[in-house]
Amino acid sequence: MEMFFIDNLAPIMFFNLVVFLLLGFPVAFTLAAIGILYGLIAIQFGLMQPALFQALPNRVFGIIANDTLLAVPFFTLMGLILERSGMAEDLLETVGQLFGPIRGGLAIAVVVVGAMLAATTGVVSASVISMGLISLPIMLRYGYDRRLATGVIAASGTLSQIVPPSLVLIILADQLGRSIGDMYRGAMVPGLVLALSYISYVGIMCLIKPSSAPALPKEARIYDRPDGTRGLKSLGVLTVISSAVAYFGSEYYFRTHDAVPVDERVVIVLLVWGVTSWIIALANRALRLGWLSPIAERVTFVMIPPLFLIFLVLGTIFIGVATPTEGGAMGAVGALIMAVSRGKFTWKLLRQAMDTTTKLSCFVVFILVGSTVFTLSFRGINGDLWVEHLLIGMPGGEWGFIIFVSILIFVLAFFLDFFELAFIIVPLVGPVADKLGIDLIWFGVLLAVNMQTSFMHPPFGFALFFLRSVAPREDYTDKITGKTVAGVTTGQIYWGSVPFIFIQLAMVVAVMVFPGMVMHYKADVQTVDPSTIEFGVGNVYGTDSYGDPASSFGGGSDPASMFGGGGDPADAFGAPPADAPAAPAAAAPADDPAAAFR
């Protein structure tokens, strides 16, 4: 029995960890306690040296000194300030008025605002609660199907998990030892495709069951002109003019900079487009020109500032002006400026945001410390080798490993949130993925899309809990129409999430089959062919007293003689012989599924 315990100490340790987590013990303290307990057991049986625990202080100080993790409090503070400054309310009202007159318009508005909030706040709870408080009553008022309404709100809120600047991507980049900027670039396309998939689902529902998502009635359109027109023509003209200026104006930047990456091109074009629209709208209002309709002016003044903030954060990272940590700091300052400019800034707001930021940051650090203690003991008893042998020996090679890990993450997401998955599972499977030759940025984005389902899983999905806390449980009388509106049941919230879980799983499959959605992050990286490298040695020592440069090399007419003779100075640097094999072939295209494994 003792030999069985010793031989299987690693799996027993991992099993005990899962049991204590499922029993509801705090994650940070469970990790640390299991790590210390089994570390002492391993020392008692001679499986681990006591000196290994002496590395713990340095590891803890390394966590505190990690500059990468500074992005967590910065982005959290930015999101909380924006959430409390009323930006979500203005966005939902404006985009709802823009898309409301078409079937499913309010649901489409929720997805669009959810994506914008994800790119500015990065906090799921803030997005779901804001949209649940503002959009859900309006959708119920005008007869939206409750399952569709609750599902689209919960799913749009979870976009904060995959759309940069997501906290999940920061943690995954840190755990996988990769650049946050590359992780952001890799996650951008899957996040946008996921948002478009939600919109497509709403459109399909409108075709199949038109009564599930009716259009906004005329009496609810508050920005229509007195003659009944919506004024979209002036919005279209403004968009065309701004787009033309952005296209031709950015060409100068592209001509003066060589090899501009695609993401940098997009950022520059959007920046010029936003600035142009803002200037035209300001001139129209200041000079009372009457060029823009009420809806066009409202859209410009409400939607452009968040786009500026997105540029301040993501744009500066993509064009290389700032690191992710510096981008988070600028985003926090930009959020404060927006709150002040909107007249919503108060010391109480700042204190509440800083209190919540401090709690979340301490939560992350404590889990990291506990995870470090657990990992130290787990690796001390060769638990990492057990996991490696278990996963590498799976049938199917890389694809077998990817499919197994994806299923494991999906199942564990029923019981664990993304922090627990990122700090417990990722450190175990990340090294195995690296040894299998899997690109870790692609692997991280795949895990992030999969972890997104943890917020949507009935019965433990946090997004569903957040929505349940603000959705009306009982029948109530609507203040606008005076009609009685039925409440929303928990079952309707749960069933409403199911179609969007399938959409998220379809995105997991899409990232697997089309790795180019992520691998574009390194498409612009310039590589060097080793066969083209040349070494040249010139007259670096000047002439001797007799005016003979060659004598400086010990005689002879060939400077290469200083390297021991021969005609090629490169020989001294280990240059390949003439019969050396050719340089490796270029990497596979990004749209090849095998590209993620090379």
Together in a domain, 328 and 402: no
Q: What's the pLDDT tens digit per position in 123-168?
A: 777 778 878 887 888 888 888 888 998 999 989 888 888 888 778 8
**Rounded CA gap, 188 and 194, in Å?**
10
HSE-up of residue 329 (Cα within 13 Å, Cβ side): 9
pLDDT computed for residue 584 by the predictor = 45
pLDDT above 90: residue 477: no
pLDDT computed for residue 596 by the predictor = 65
% residues pLDDT > 90 (the chain)? 5
pLDDT computed for residue 527 by the predictor = 52
pLDDT above 50: residue 553: no
pLDDT computed for residue 523 by the predictor = 61
* Lowest-pLDDT choice from 50-54, 121-125, 303-307, 324-328: 121-125
pLDDT above 90: residue 119: no
pLDDT above 60: residue 593: no
pLDDT above 90: residue 200: yes
Domain-embedded: residue 443: yes
Tell me which range, 119-128, 200-209, 574-583, is most confidently predicted by mean pLDDT.
200-209
Residue 589 in tokens: 């295209």
CA of residue 248 relative to chain centroid, distance: 31
Among residues 452, 427, 588, 431, which one has the least CA distance to residue 519? 588
**Rounded CA gap, 123 and 159, in Å?**
9
HSE-up of residue 210 (Cα within 13 Å, Cβ side): 4
Number of helices and strands in the chain (H, E):
25, 2
* Lowest-pLDDT choice from 344-353, 410-419, 434-443, 530-539: 530-539
Together in a domain, 227 and 319: yes
**Rounded CA gap, 544 and 541, in Å?**
9
Average pLDDT, the chain: 79
HSE-up of residue 404 (Cα within 13 Å, Cβ side): 17
Q: Could you tell me the pLDDT band of residue 204, with boundaries at 50, 70 and 90?
A: very high
Together in a domain, 236 and 337: yes
Together in a domain, 235 and 314: yes
Number of domains in the chain: 3
Domain-embedded: residue 445: yes
Find the mean pLDDT for residues 535-564.
44
Together in a domain, 319 and 286: yes
Together in a domain, 334 and 232: yes
Is the pLDDT higher at 571 or at 442?
A: 442
Last residue of a domain, one of 453, 478, 500: 453
Bridge partner list, 476: 485
Together in a domain, 317 and 368: no
Domain-embedded: residue 402: yes
pLDDT computed for residue 502 by the predictor = 92
Together in a domain, 326 and 234: yes
Together in a domain, 288 and 390: no
* Host domain of residue 314: 223-344
Q: What is the pTM of this model?
A: 0.76
- Through-space distance between the first and last CA atoms of the chain, rounded to whole angstroms: 44
Quick check: 205 and 104 in contact, CB under 8 A?
Answer: yes
Domain-embedded: residue 91: no
Quick check: 443 and 172 in contact, CB under 8 A?
Answer: no
% residues pLDDT > 70 (the chain)? 85
Together in a domain, 376 and 328: no
Last residue of a domain, one of 344, 374, 403: 344
Find the mean pLDDT for residues 181-207.
90
Domain-embedded: residue 527: no
pLDDT computed for residue 199 by the predictor = 92
Domain-embedded: residue 554: yes
Q: What's the pLDDT tens digit per position in 360-375?
A: 888 888 888 888 888 8
pLDDT computed for residue 531 by the predictor = 60
Q: Could you tell me the pLDDT band of residue 594, with boundaries at 50, 70 and 90?
A: low
Together in a domain, 337 and 370: no
* Lowest-pLDDT choice from 149-163, 298-312, 474-488, 531-545: 531-545
Other CB atoms within 10 Å distance of the CB of residue 522: 17
pLDDT above 70: residue 565: no
Question: Which positions ≥6 away from 196 have C-beta within 8 Å?
Answer: none
Q: What's the pLDDT tens digit per position in 73-101?
A: 888 888 788 777 777 778 878 888 888 78
pLDDT computed for residue 556 by the predictor = 44
Q: Could you tell me the pLDDT band of residue 194, with boundaries at 50, 70 and 90?
A: very high
Domain-embedded: residue 135: no
Domain-embedded: residue 191: no
pLDDT above 90: residue 212: no
Q: Could you tell me the pLDDT band of residue 38, with boundaries at 50, 70 and 90?
A: confident
Q: What's the pLDDT tens digit per position in 292-321?
A: 888 888 888 888 888 888 888 877 877 777
pLDDT above 60: residue 546: no
Q: What's the pLDDT tens digit per position in 249-274?
A: 877 777 777 666 666 777 788 888 88
pLDDT computed for residue 145 by the predictor = 87
Together in a domain, 432 and 537: no
